[in-house]
Amino acid sequence: MHPDHERTKSAPRDELVSPARRALLRTFALGGMAAVAGCMGGNDDSDSGTEQTPSNERSVGGEYVVGDQSGATTLNWLAINDQSSADRVRLTLDTLYTITSKKKIFPLLAKEITTDDERIYTVTLRDNLKWGAGYGRMTAEDWVYEIKNVFQAEENWTGYTNRRHWFHNGSPIPVEVTSELRFEISLPEPDPEYLLRPGLSEAWCIPKALLRQYVPTRDSEGLNQDPEINELAYTGNLGPYTFERSNQNTSFVAQRNEEYYLRDSDVPEAWSGSPYYDSYTYRVIPDQNARLSALQKGNITSTSIPLSSARKFQGMDDVTVQAIKQPYLTPICYNMRRNGWSQLRKQSVRHALSYAVDKTKVAQDIFRGFSDVTHTFQPRWSDWYDGSKIIKTGVGKSNDIETARSKLKAGLQGTEYAYDDTMLTGPDGSTVTLKLVITQTSTTIKTFAQYLARAYGKLGFNIEIEPVAFDTLTSNYLNNSYQGSGRPKWNVSPTNGGGRDESVSEVPWDLCLGATLNIYPLTPSSTEMFFTKRGRANYTGYYPTADLKSLYDAARSETDEKRRRKLYAEIFGTLSEEQPYNFVITGRDIYGYRDTVHGSRGRQYLANWNRQTWYRNTQ
């Protein structure tokens, strides 16, 4: 699973996901829910595996069974935008490389990827990669044909979700075959974060001979119905498991790939016998209580654990619980567009609201200790977090109702609003009511909203909580469209259809809770989409007072790490000061495993990178 990804008209695919699905590389996601299980990670900083047990001391055997909330929607990975489908394909088909818990590149299908200037990247494939279904050897031509005819096609005829990463300013990024097993990607400018972005790291491949049947006529329907696609017959020796059978509503079963290419490659010893399970199954169990019961009884090997049950399972002898740090921020969002409360555009008012919220209480009591307090758009565990530049709110002295009242009074000075420290009234003399829209499926988010109503009530506001379905939240509240006269100065996406005085959502709102945001700790330049005036995910209508656009532009292409670090420190320090959102917490993905699973018990980000090395403990 990659750490750090567009939809059609209703919403860019990499920005919004439905409640039952987790986007591959999401920008927005549903707050208050644990992710689907199936990933388990490392407990050390080794780049070779989770532990140092030699492969000859590991025995192959047993069935690994994941209890999953939902089934695959498709096995045509070009059309995938949900985690359940991606997990199943990933069993049978590796990507070019993965990213370790030390944020290093670990080669898989690619023997190596090199660059001299961080602009031209050369990918060299391993020489023992074989397609299935008689398609022969995987070559560089397979990759370049797919990139040019699918990823960079004039029309996104397959619905490929990572398409935007293969363009620069609307033009395709040049890609060229340089030998049978080597191809070259020529970026228009240096990008030291390129290999950490999802464009190349999340790409799979389909044989050219299979794909070219559908390219000339852009036959997406034919591609979707192709039996070799739907049974993953083309994957050959390219993944740890081979497809056996699938039923969307019940299960997906894969068997150990006896010809897996990594066993005949120059890899660390822990990988040389992988995978170590005879079979790997995803069993669909929609009911959460049924999944948890199956884990407790040993009928499945792993599943996700909700916050409400994590402590209970931590106390069980036969189950191990992991709470893995994730790069998803739960913020309180402020609508600074025309159909939100106008005073939210003022930094002092936003600071007042932030001072009124006790982040420690939220993290410990509402999210039950499975979260980390956050003060900007990077977590404290990020390599790019500089605490000396961060202004903290909502903790210690910065969580003070009197200071919050003082800041609110200062922000409203000279307006028609009257404030006496206990009640805020508007020009018509009535108490100011703010609409807080939340996702309705999470009890944690509901509890959080009730706490906010009390906290803001002490500040003088009346809070109207409006629970809605996640799809309604995105389509009616976060998406916005141009309502002005003439042509908009910009219309970059469904979540930023123009300036904040002209482009507004279908339904007015003031505050939002329940849409989590990807903070991209590996590629922090990606966060520009939220915080520049024309950023494609700037749904709140935030206009920074600092020149964040120039800072982001400089950081994106800066190859000197020390200078890049200073640029990011300035960006995230500025955001902590301007408070375009109340940056509250980053969360954890909580998984439960039967104690027979021998692997790692790490909690760090990317702890699941080496899942091929897990094995069954028979002692």
DSSP state letter for 308: H
The whole-angstrom separation of Cα 609 and Cα 219 is 35
- Segments in the chain below pLDDT 50: 1-26, 31-46, 49-52
Q: Residues 579, 393: contact at Cβ < 8 Å?
A: yes
The 3-state secondary structure of 120-164 reads EEEEEECCCCECCCCCCECCHHHHHHHHHHHHCCCCCCCCCCCHH
Query: Vertex 44, ends 201 and 200: CA angle to 5°?
Result: 5
Instruction: Give the C-alpha separation, 92 to 90, whole Å.
Output: 5
> Contacts from 143-146 at CB under 8 Å and sequence distance 24+?
143/183, 143/205, 144/175, 144/176, 144/177, 144/183, 145/208, 145/211, 145/212, 146/205, 146/206, 146/208, 146/211
Cβ atoms of residues 303 and 288 within 8 Å: no
DSSP 15-72: T---TT---TT-SEEETT-PPP------SS--SS-SS---GGG-----EEEEEESS--
- Give the number of C-alpha atoms closer than 13 A to the C-alpha of residue 474, restricted to the C-beta side: 26
Query: CA distances (Å), 576 to each of 347, 375, 376, 394, 556, in order?
Result: 11, 6, 5, 12, 20
- C-alpha–C-alpha distance, residues 322 and 388, integer Å: 31
pLDDT in tens, 288-323: 999 999 999 999 999 999 999 999 999 999 999 999
Report the candidate in 345, 330, 308, 284 with the shortest Cα–Cα distance to residue 87: 284
d(CA 158, CA 224): 9
Residues 539 and 495 sit within 8 Å (Cβ to Cβ): yes
> In angstroms, rounded to a whole number, what is the distance separating the alpha carbons of residues 217 and 407?
61
SS3 of residue 463 by DSSP:
strand
Beta bridge partners of 334: 511
CB-CB neighbours of 113 under 10 Å: 17
Which amino acid does the sequence have at 423? M
Determine contact, residues 26/86, Cβ cutoff 8 Å: no
Give the C-alpha separation, 177 to 217, whole Å. Answer: 24
What is the pairing mode between strands 503-504 and 597-598?
unpaired
> Can you tell me whether residue 569 is helix, strand or coil?
helix
> What gap in Å lies between CA 116 and CA 104, rounded to an integer?
17
Residue-wise DSSP of 224-240: HH-HHHHTTGGGTTSSS
Contact at 8 Å (CB) between 607 and 355? no
DSSP-derived 3-state class of residue 319: strand
Helix (H) or strand (E) holding 573: helix 561-578
Strand partners, 125: 110
Instruction: List own/partner pairs for 449-454 with CB under 8 A and 24 or more apart.
Output: 449/513, 451/361, 451/362, 451/366, 452/332, 452/357, 452/511, 452/513
The answer to whether the CB of 88 falls within 8 A of the CB of 190 is no
Overall pTM surpassing 0.85 (yes/no): yes
Going by the DSSP 8-state scheme, the letter that residue 432 receives in this structure is: P
CA–CA separation, 397 and 355 (whole Å): 9
